[in-house]
Chain A
Amino acid sequence: MSNIKQTYLDYNATTPIDPKVLEVMLPYFKEKFQNPSSKYRSAMDISIEVEDARLRIANLLGAKHSDEIIFASSATESINHALRGTLKAYPNKKHIITTATEHPAVLETCKDLERDGYKVTFLQVDTKGELSMEEFTKALSEDTGIISIMHANNETGVVFPIDKLSRIAKERHPEITFHTDATQSIGKIQIDVYSYQYKHIDLLSMSGHKIYAPKGIGLLFSRRGSRLRRIITGGHHEFNKRGGTPNVPFIIGLAKAFELVLEELKNKKQDKLAEFRDYLEKTLQKNIPYMYINGAEAERLCNTTNFSFDCIEGESILFQLDKAGFCLSSGSACTSGSLEPSHVLRAMHVPLTSAHSSLRISMGRYTTKDDVDALITKLPEVIATLRSMSPFWDNKNNKPNALAAKYSCAN
């Protein structure tokens, strides 16, 4: 690697492990290695510590019982458990409701279930990125087994009103199970699953590595009374709901990380991120013509912003930013394996002319004003260079040329 200073602005992809989290994990890699299921003192001590971590996590989520927390290897596994496990428990229900902007963990699981004969309603969003309550209500039916709607979107940060949606669903069909993928919102929005607001959510998935815990740990909150069959069979771990020896160090780390991130939320430490975001958006919009902020009109996470630029392509932006030490993501077709532009932006009807150039900036605990300023200095230069090379850009008047205009209504 080169010696260029790294500016990390991709916290929605993953976060570094907090040193305090790492510290509490270390003993469990060394002397406290025993299997918590074993029946001797040292092992039982560890079992107690795992259960203590579970209880603390339950409290942080506002859950009433620690057996409502099922540890898993990732949020993706939890999501699979929620969807497949619920549908297995309701063999007569053959309908799933989800949204078009979900993370692939949900989308692909739903598509797989579709191949198994389930009917899936993918709710569309409007140009702001918001769902239509009317469409949602219409989609509900006697046959609906599970609803899976993400809390906050990973690409745009747009927040869905899961409290309202779950209430509407339960009022009409109390039997429906409501699952939410809260991977991005945990630690940024306070969720108490037994509060009046969130009491209709039956299942909630989250991940460790978005809240400064390591990769490889996630969990599923499963409200007591939800019918959930297991999908990973094995020993009697996790109250018989998920086989596999508990990942002790990571569970201990997750509990610590969760405590830290909620403490931060309580002390309003994240307000600086909202300030950074607004400052970044305002300044860049001043300096870069034909730039758009995707999802700006909806309720958003404080740390995420998603830009598009006319007439250039995202991967070549990333490549140059990478050279200058910036780590961030693009929804460009060329940065994904599939060569398709971001499904989230397409669902929001962002024109293809700018969907190819989307850039996601997500900030977090260690982001400083210097990081933001560095991007503000570099980005306009990169955009201008690429535009000067683009056959769709009018260099004299600094705007898209007639050729580009031809495509603006192409979709």
Chain B
Amino acid sequence: MAWEYSDKTKKLFLDAVNHSKNAHIGEIENPDGESFHGSLVCGDAIRLTFRVQKDEKNPENDIITSIRYLTFGCTSAIAASEALCIMIEEGKYTPIRALSLTKDDIVKFLDGLPTQKIHCSIMGVEALYGAVYDWARKRNLDLKKLGVNTECLTHEEDSDQRIVCRCMGMTKGYIRDQVRDLGLKTVEEVINTIKAGSVCGSCIEEPGGIKDILKEVNISSTQTEQPVVGKPDDKTPYQVAKEIEKVLVSDVIPILQRDGGGLEIIDIRGYELYFRLKGACKTCHASNNTIEYTVEKILRDKVSPKVKVINVG
């Protein structure tokens, strides 16, 4: 899959690599705020340093006068770093006001980014948050007291701060928010957009991993968007039968087929499933009870605890 960068993106990248006068490549010594975000392993990382013009009376009114970055990453990662620095210097932001910058501002400044590259702009913003937090610490400011939402800055011990994607250092809360905000629906979309789970992939399937987060977000969003009519158990016999059939096809029959067997639905009446085993399962009397138990357990978990299965052999 190929993509094309906007002219603005290309120009900013070339400005940077050519070390042109207005580029923001570099590092400020003894900075007033600094941070490091990303990692070598994931293929993107940025070090951000800035200097402020100090307001002696009120540190809140410090103004960022210069900001520099060092970025390891692809063309768009470098262009996004450059864009961020230009916006901050030109906007004469106070560090606290700089927190209002979002990835969308960067994407807009670059005249758009390919969707696979959105994570590059996210990285810059995260680094900025980190640097502002560092500045606040150095200036003895309590951001929380100033009414700043510090959730994204601190790493307090709670379940949202649990690292899910270890390769990329992404927390549960972060992934969940991105999944919700960007409307991501599949693991692939998560990998392509925010890169969580893109390196070793071990966090995709594990309990509390990316799949679980996707499920959590997407279930709650469908619940809020489409209110359930009536009580959840108020299903018509048709709906129940449909659901049982669906679960059988997707979850039960493949298991039986692995052992050379199968299952034939004879009838579904209310919550009662009448079925017959086929193939290897049919002749294997020893396992019949186990199979019935397994089928019943899966259906009870996935459809309703009321389900009963009856093997009519």
**Interface of A toward B, CB cutoff 8 Å:** 117, 311-316, 319-320, 323, 332-334, 336-341, 352-353, 356, 385-386, 388-392, 403-404, 407, 410-411
Contacts and interface: CB of A to CB of B under 8 A. Distances in A.
Contact of B71 (A314, A336, A337, A391): A391
Contact of A334 (B17, B43, B191): B43
Interface size class of B (residues with CB under 8 A): 35 or more
Contact of A392 (B40, B191, B258): B40
B75 A356 contact: no
B53 interface: no
Nearest to B44: A313
Contact of A333 (B1, B25, B71, B198): B198
Interface in B29-84: 36, 39-47, 70-75, 77-78
B195 interface: yes
A315 B191 contact: no
Contact of A316 (B42, B46, B70, B73): B73
A403 B195 CA distance: 21
A319 B46 CA distance: 19
26 contacts: A117-B257, A117-B258, A313-B72, A313-B73, A313-B77, A315-B74, A316-B77, A319-B13, A319-B74, A334-B117, A336-B1, A338-B198, A352-B42, A352-B43, A352-B199, A353-B41, A356-B40, A356-B43, A388-B19, A388-B25, A389-B70, A389-B72, A391-B36, A391-B46, A392-B72, A410-B41
Contact of B195 (A332, A339, A385): A339
A338 B16 CA distance: 26
Nearest to B191: A339
A320 B17 contact: yes
Contacts of B191: 338-340
Q: Quick one: which of A319, A340, A388, A389 has the most chain B CB within 10 A?
A: A389
A313 B19 CA distance: 18
B167 to A, nearest CB: 8
B74 A332 contact: yes
B283 interface: no
A124 B41 CA distance: 21
B74 A313 contact: yes
Contact of B72 (A311, A333, A385): A311
Contacts of A410: 39-41
B94 interface: no
Nearest to B14: A323
A411 B200 CA distance: 9
B41 A352 contact: yes
Given A313-B77, A392-B40, A338 B192 contact: yes
Contacts of A389: 16-17, 25, 70-72, 78
Contacts of B258: 117
B286 to A, nearest CB: 23
Contacts of A403: 36
A117 B45 CA distance: 41
Contacts of B77: 313, 316
B198 A340 contact: yes
Contacts of B72: 311-313, 389-392
Contacts of B47: 391
B154 interface: no
B116 interface: yes
Nearest to A311: B72
B183 to A, nearest CB: 19
Contact of B192 (A339, A385, A391): A339
Nearest to A318: B75
A319 B116 CA distance: 17
Contact of A386 (B17, B39, B45, B199): B17
Given A316-B74, A389-B25, A353 B40 contact: yes
Interface string B157-196: 0000000000000000000000000000000000110010
